[in-house]
Each structure stands twice: as C-alpha cells, then as structure tokens.
Amino acid sequence: MENGIPKAVAPLKEKTEAAESTTITTTKSESSPTTVPMKEWQKKDADALAKIHLAVSDSIFPRIMNSTSAKEAWDTLQDEFKGTVKIRAVKLQTLRRDFENLRMTEGETIKDFSSRAIEVVNQMKSYGGNITN
C-alpha cells in the first residue's frame, strides 16, 4: 500500500489524474461534420469518467475502475449505494415503520425528537417516499 492506496489501484488513479490534466484538440483537417460531435461526446464522457474516478474514495475506486464510460461507472455506484428497485422498496418500508414507531424517549428534548423525525423523513424522501398528513 502507498499512502493508503492499494498498489494495484495506484497506477489507475495516477492514469486518471493524468488524463484529467490533459486536453484534446482537433485541427480543421481532422474534423468532419459527423465525427466532431462524436469526438466531443467521447471527450466529455472521458472527462466525466475521470471526475467520477477522482471523486470516489480509494476504497470505492476498485468497484468502478473497469468502467468504460461515465454512465457505466455512475450506474455501478447508484446500484451499490442506492440499490435496485426492490432494495429501495424494502428500505422505504423499513423507514416507514421507523417513522410510525417514533416516540419521545424519557429525557429527550423536543428539539432532539424533532431532529430524529426530520432525519427519517429526509431518508424516506431520498428513497422516493412521501409523507402525507
């Protein structure tokens, strides 16, 4: 391990950092009306993938290091941390049960209870749930 980064991951992170610092330019002779948008799209995709690689921690990076596009990396992260539809439904059901069972504990201030309730509601919203009166 170097600086807390596994040796197998370190070269990939360095490559990503190097790619982030370089820019690609095209000359008039290289470009054609149909290839320029594709090249621009590929550059934007590579830039987005590099930014995702740089943004994640070293412990998470190995999960997306083989992704070939920003969309693929993003989908992997989304499935990993937000979960699939079935997992989200189960988490939402658990949060609803937690919300229904919220009670003030002895010695708890109204402010603390309110903070706990708001936290559960915000988690429910992040999973697509809603609270009705």
Domain ranges of the chain: 10-81, 85-126
pLDDT tens string, the chain, 133 residues long: the values are 555 555 555 555 555 555 444 444 444 555 555 566 888 999 999 999 999 999 988 888 898 999 999 999 999 888 877 777 888 889 899 999 999 999 999 999 999 999 999 999 998 888 888 777 6
3-state secondary structure of 60: coil
Please name the residue that has the structure tokens 């992260």: 77
Determine the pLDDT at residue 133: 64
pTM: 0.47
Under a CB-based contact definition with an 8 Å cutoff, are residues 43 and 91 in contact? Answer: no
Alpha helices in the chain (DSSP H): 10-21, 35-55, 61-64, 70-81, 85-100, 110-126
